[in-house]
Amino acid sequence: MKTDDLPGLYIHVPFCREKCRYCDFFSVPVSGQLEQWKEALLREAGQHHDFAPQFGSLYLGGGTPSTLPLDALGEITGCMRELYEFREDAEVTIEINPEDVSGDYIDGLIDLGFNRLSLGVQSFRDEDLLLLGRGHDAARAENALEICLESGIDNVSIDLIYAICYQSPKNWQYNLGRALSFQPQHISCYELTFKENTELYEMYRNGEVLSPPEETQRDMFIDASRTLTENGYWHYEVSSYSLGEKRMSRHNSIYWKHFPYLGLGPSAHSFDGRMRWWNCSCLDEYINSAGAEKGGLEELSFGALEMEEIFLGLRTAEGIDLELAKRYLSDEKLIEVLIGYGLLNIEKGRLVPTRKGYLFSDYVATFFRPQA
Amino acid sequence: MSNIRNFSIVAHIDHGKSTLADRFIQHVGLVSERAFHDQLLDDMDLERERGITIKSQTVRLPYRSRDGSEYILNLIDTPGHVDFSYEVSRALAACEGILLLVDAAQGVEAQTVANLYAALEHDLTIIPVINKVDLDSADVERVREEIEQELGLDASEALLCSAKVGTGVEEVLEAIVERIPPAGRDMESSLKALIFDANYDPYRGSVISCRINRGSVRAGDEVKLMSIDSIHTVEEVGIFKLKMEEQKSLSAGEVGYIIAGIKNISDTRIGDTIILASDQSTDPLPGFKEVKPMVFSSIYPIERDTVGALDDAISRYKLNDASLTYSRDSSASLGQGFRCGFLGLLHLDIFQQRLEREFDVSVIMTAPSVEYQFVLTDGEEISVQNPQYYPNENEIERSLEPFVRASILIPDSYMGSVMKLCLGRRGVNPHYHYVGTGRMEVMIDMPLAEIIYDFYDRLKSITRGYGTFDYEFLEYREENLVKVDFLVNKEKVDALSIIVHRDRARQRGLEVCEGLKKEIPKHMFKIPIQAAIGNNVIARKTISALRKDVTAKCYGGDVTRKRKLLEKQAEGKKRMKMVGKVMIPQSAFVSVLKTNED
Ligand SMILES: Nc1nc2c(ncn2[C@@H]2O[C@H](COP(=O)(O)OP(=O)(O)OP(=O)(O)O)[C@@H](O)[C@H]2O)c(=O)[nH]1
Ligand code: SF4
Ligand SMILES: [Mg+2]
């Protein structure tokens, strides 16, 4: 896996048309605050103009960036290009929701320089979408995906969620089959998790919805990995699949490779290789302080940095340097043990996870001892 | 006449010794009001956290009496908990008198009596002091009676004070200078000093606390530690005044410290006598009684620490806690380690905490055991402190286990449930009587083994915290005992074995299996847990295999959260030991102590 060694720029667009039941990302209903947010964002961007000489990616996430009209998006990307230097072939991604997709809108995005689309499909089944509280149905998702793929952008990613309450392995196979029939360049498959402070979590606690048993969750993970890899996708990170190396998410890989990134907008996180800080998750406060009011900041010790490198690396196909791994194990023999369990392999001096290793990546990580 | 008074404050736990010491310190103005805080002498973190004294502390107080004379008071504040009674007995050897504190509400308790006897053995002057007279529940008349009846002291000599409020404190100070005999000041004879405590300074070696019985000592003197006949040059002498304070010399009657470049830890022995190197004729002082440990536990190094590093840490610890006994031991499942003897469970707990905090070693400790005695068929008698060394079943003629007399104080409404608890723990021969309105004392004979696991916790929870409990050793009694082994993933883990009464074997076996199931984390494979007597499995539980363990998303904001979680998990893992293919956490070894009776 090759990634740029240039930092990435993330912009958090904190607006959604409606809150999905499972979502704990920071977002508020689309409102009149758009202008104020944009103004604060641009001010915040100005404060960090010297973060890095050059960026290798720009990523608009959220929230739902596709709730923004093209002119607002244009203003933002234009401003970013003025303030920051981007490499010529920088990856420029925008997250979009099916209900916002139209041919014109996508063409507009391409004109603005976006060269990667991340479409929030989640499922091709109406039951699932209803339960998740998404703003689109299956037909809409398929139609949107079709438009994206036909736009000629050639770098479309879709998000899918599995283990959605009553979803059966067969239902999940159906979703995988539908996804494959479109051949998007990238697929992310996330297991549904009940996060605190979400509607679905409350429903789960009240017994209104169930979670499939762990065995089924595990089987669904394996189904996805098998099916997609058999069909030419590369399983390069726990939840990520791409059609070939070139289509993996370069921006997301920055997080996993532990490269610096600058995050703008409420709740966004930044990391400069030593410090990590984040904005508060409150739009009013963000607008008032233009990001000057931090939600938190931590300076990472060398040991903590390496520890992160280890557990993040073990979630990717690239794995981690074997010598680094050894330094963080209480006993080198543990490597043999983990290999014996079929979780890891040694390849060219690196410790890399197997498919099963992805499934147990948290478990594997616990074998590594943080050092002060 | 000498103006030095050496005395200890002794009492039952919580009767206010350290608080009274605070008042003395303030009265003589040893610290500024700004630097003062409660229980000033309890300077160990653990002491502050738990609100109890663990180590005796010496402090020198300059005191000007009412008639204007100047005195030097060497005060030793001692711990009240029975598990630290060795600290008290050693402190007494450095004194001519004691303040025997009695809580005005609680009255005379077990350690009041025990400590009085210890002081009488040393021929010390006793000043009874009734403390906490400020309390509403104070009953001075009853306490006076107890002092007469239970302690056999003249209650008219008892002083009244409130260490908290400060009343009567000056009267106590006056009584000290009046009643306690001045320390003998034989400065002419050659040096003779008693080592009653020590600690280890990595740069300077042993810092020896001693009482100078006669003669004097100063930097530059050549001295001899009598028991091992080793000679050292004194580098520094001084006294304790909250901090160590260097002096030109220490002389007869004084209590202080000596630093003499003693780097070899085992050279310093508590109870040893220090004399001048040139002295050929002096006999050593009698030293201290051997300690008799009551509970035993094995410790094994975890992480990358070697048994050598552990050895080093324990011997340095031992310097500062003479009541610990230990010897090399090994276990098939846990490797090389040490078998340690303790005066009680609190002692054991404090040992583990201090080892970790002060000496930076992490250990696995096995569940505590008592010492059993066996008479074998060939007539040989053996004692076993470690279930691992349980003799061959068919070679045992008779098995004996230690019994204690437990004394339990409770509000009478809990009588029924407390009796049920005691009888369930094989208590026999109960007696009870009222000790005031609504309060009862239950005396009952119990196997020590049955009270070293969670008995106190159970008692506290049954009585909503109102029950107190004390015990004294009674005798060894014949019982039908058996060893129960535990197999984790089909492998016997010898460090988990327990010796129990045969009738209780199955229930205890199941309880331990359940405990282990709760404590051992899931692995990549199923783990059967079995309890067995010999080859007979008597209980079984299974830990199911881990099916998956992965967080779906890990982007910008998730990384910190994830790392913190890992750090927390690793903290727990630090206390794990790999046995065969299974990681067993420290908590699992201790879970042997947990029961699920209600
Ligand atoms: N009301 C009242 N409380 C007191 C008095 N003296 C001590 N106490 C309280 O009793 C508790 C125990 O006091 P300590 O001085 O720590 O008792 P101790 O005898 O040193 O205890 P150990 O060293 O653990 O045996 C504390 O909460 C004190 O504040 C007193 O005269 N009156
Ligand atoms: S899942 Fe996406 S669209 Fe739904 S609420 Fe969350 S951020 Fe908004
Ligand atoms: Mg105290």
Read off the pLDDT of residues A247-264 as tens digits, 9 standing for 90 and up: 999 999 999 988 999 999
Ligand 3 centroid distance, CA of B78 (Å)? 6
Q: What is the pLDDT of residue B468?
A: 79
Q: Which CATH class is domain B192-276?
A: mainly beta
Q: Which residues line ligand 2 (CB under 6 A)?
A: A 16, 19-20, 23, 25, 27, 62-64, 97, 120
pTM equals 0.75
Task: With H, G, I as helix, E, B as strand and everything else as coil, classify residue B582.
Answer: strand
Whether ligand 1 lies within 6 angstroms of the CB of B13 is answered as yes
Ligand nearest A28 Cα, by number?
Answer: 2
Burial of B263 (0-12, 13-18, 19+ CB in 10 A): middle
Ligand 1 centroid distance, CA of B15 (Å):
5
Phi-psi domain of B116 (left: phi exceeds 0; alpha: psi -120 through 50; beta: other): alpha
Say whether residue B549 is in contact with chain A using an 8 A CB cutoff. Answer: yes
Q: What are all long-range contacts of B536-541, with beta carbons under 8 Å and residues at least 24 apart? A: B538/B484, B538/B505, B538/B506, B538/B509, B539/B506, B539/B509, B539/B510, B539/B512, B539/B513, B540/B513, B541/B510, B541/B513, B541/B514, B541/B516, B541/B517
Smallest CA–CA distance from B583 into chain A, residue: A367
> Alpha helices of B452-585 — where are they, by DSSP H?
455-462, 505-519, 558-573
Q: Which two tokens stand for residue B456?
A: 């106190």
Ligand 2, atom 6, residue with closest C-alpha? A23
Same fold, B192-276 and B295-365: no
Q: Which atom of ligand 2 is least distant from the CA of A63? A: 7
B74 with B7: CB under 8 angstroms?
A: yes
DSSP B540-563: EEEEPPP-----S---TTHHHHHH
CATH number of B372-478: 3.30.70.240
Q: Is B135 in the pocket of ligand 1 (CB under 6 A)?
A: yes
Cβ-based contacts of B550 with chain A (< 8 Å): 191, 221, 238, 358-363
Is B163 close to ligand 1, i.e. is its CB under 6 Å away?
Answer: yes
Tokens, residue B167: 């009343």
Q: What is the CA radius of gyration of chain B?
A: 27
pLDDT for the residue B303? 64
| B192 burial level (CB within 10 Å; 0-12, 13-18, 19+) | buried
Whether residues B547 and A214 touch (CB distance < 8 A) is answered with yes
- Give the start-end residues of each E strand in B190-248: 192-201, 205-214, 216-218, 222-225, 230-233, 236-241, 243-247
Residues in B closer than 8 angstroms to A217, CB to CB, are 547-548
Residue B541: closest CA among B525, B526, B556: B526
Q: Where are the domains of chain B?
A: 4-179, 192-276, 295-365, 372-478, 482-593
Interface mutation target, options A93, A305, A308, chain B, most CBs of B under 10 Å? A308
Q: Are B212 and B250 in contact (CB under 8 A)?
A: yes
Contact status of B562 with chain A (Cβ, < 8 Å) = yes
Give residue B595's pLDDT. 63
**CA–CA min distance A310, chain B (Å):** 10
Contact A129, A159 (CB under 8 A): no
CA B390 – CA B383 distance, rounded (Å) = 9
The distance of Cα B78 from the centroid of its chain, to the nearest Å, equals 12
Instruction: Give the nearest chain A residue to B569 (CA atoms).
Output: A366
CA A265–ligand 2 middle distance (angstroms): 16
- The residue with greater pLDDT, A294 or B444, is B444
Number of A/B CB contacts below 8 angstroms equals 92
Mean pLDDT for back-to-back runs of 10 residues, chain B (598 residues): 90 95 94 88 91 94 94 95 91 95 91 91 95 94 93 94 95 96 88 94 93 94 92 95 93 94 90 92 86 90 78 91 93 90 90 88 87 95 93 94 91 93 94 83 93 83 83 91 95 92 92 91 94 95 93 83 83 76 84 62
Query: Are A370 and B563 a contacting pair at CB < 8 A?
Result: yes
Tell me if chain A has a CB within 8 Å of the CB of B555: yes
Closest residue of B to A161, CA-based? B552
Contact A109, A147 (CB under 8 A): no
In this structure, are residues B337 and B401 in contact, taking their beta carbons and an 8 Å threshold? no
**Domain over B482-593 is classified CATH 3.30.365.10:** no
Residue contact B569–A252, C-beta within 8 A: no
Instruction: Flag whether pLDDT at A205 surpasses 70.
Output: yes
Alpha-helical (H) ranges within chain A are 34-47, 70-83, 103-111, 126-132, 138-150, 169-182, 199-205, 214-230, 250-257, 283-289, 302-313, 322-327, 333-340, 355-359, 361-365
B556 contacts A271 by C-beta, under 8 angstroms: yes
Residue A15 CA: which ligand is closest? 2
Residue B524 contacts residue A341 (beta carbons within 8 Å): yes
Asked if B78 and B53 count as a contact pair (C-beta separation under 8 A), the reply is: yes
Domain boundaries A3-256, corresponding CATH code: 3.20.20.70
Residue whose tokens read 């539980």? B541
Q: Give the nearest ligand 2 atom to A134 CA.
A: 4
Ligand 3 centroid to Cα of residue B20, in Å, is 9
Candidate from A16, A131, A195, A197 with most ligand 2 atoms within 8 A of CB, to mutate: A16
Greatest Cα pair distance in chain B: 82
* Residue among B303, B555, B566 whose CB faces A365 most closely: B566
The radius of gyration of chain A's CA atoms, rounded to the nearest angstrom, is 21
What's the helix, strand, coil split of chain A in %, to 5? 40, 25, 35
Instruction: Give me the residues of A, 192-251, that contact B with CB < 8 A.
Output: 193, 214-215, 217-218, 221, 238-239
CB contacts under 8 A, A 274-313 vs B, are: 276, 278, 298, 304, 307-308, 311-312
Q: Which residue of B has its CA nearest to A328?
A: B570
Cβ distance B555 to A252 less than 8 Å, yes or no, reads yes
HEC assignment per residue over B7-71: EEEEECCCCCHHHHHHHHHHHCCCCCCCCCCCCCCCCCHHHHHHCCCCCCEEEEEEEECCCCCEE
Task: Please name the residues in contact with B35: beta carbons below 8 A apart, sequence gap of 6 or more.
Answer: none
Give A 307-366 residues with CB within 8 A of chain B: 307-308, 311-312, 315, 330-331, 337, 341, 343, 358-363, 365-366
Indicate which residue's Cα is closest to atom 32 of ligand 1.
B132
CA B84 / ligand 1 centre spacing (Å): 17
**Taking the domains of chain A in order of start, what are their residue ranges?**
3-256, 320-365
| Phi then psi dihedrals of residue B94, to 5 deg | -100, 10
pLDDT of the residue at B187:
86
Q: Is the CB of B586 under 6 A from ligand 1?
A: no
- Going by the DSSP 8-state scheme, the letter that residue B295 receives in this structure is E
Neighbours of B578 (CB within 10 A): 16
* Residue contact B550–A358, C-beta within 8 A: yes
- The reported pLDDT for the residue numbered B304 is 57
Query: Which residue in chain A is spatially nearest to B305 when comparing CA positions?
Result: A330
Q: How far is the CA of B131 from the centre of ligand 1 (A)?
A: 9
CA angle A319, A320, A321 (to 5 degrees): 140
Using CB atoms, which residue from A358, A359, A366 is nearest to B573?
A: A366
Q: Which residue has the tokens 């890989």?
A: A253
Q: Is B340 strand, coil or helix? A: strand
Locate all alpha helices (DSSP H) within B360-454, ordered by sequence: 415-424, 448-451
Kind and range of the H or E run holding B474: strand B468-478
What's domain B4-179's architecture? Answer: 3-Layer(aba) Sandwich (3.40)
Residue A4's pLDDT band (cuts 50, 70, 90): low
pLDDT at A2 over 50: no
Whether the bond between A63 and the residue before it is cis, its omega within 30 degrees of 0, is: yes
Q: Is the pLDDT of residue A3 over 70?
A: no
- Chain B residue with the nearest C-alpha to that of A340: B524
Verify whether ligand 1 is closer than 6 Å to residue B39 (CB atom). Answer: yes
Mutate to test the interface with A, among B302, B555, B583 (most CBs of A within 10 A): B555
CATH fold of B295-365: Alpha-Beta Plaits (3.30.70)
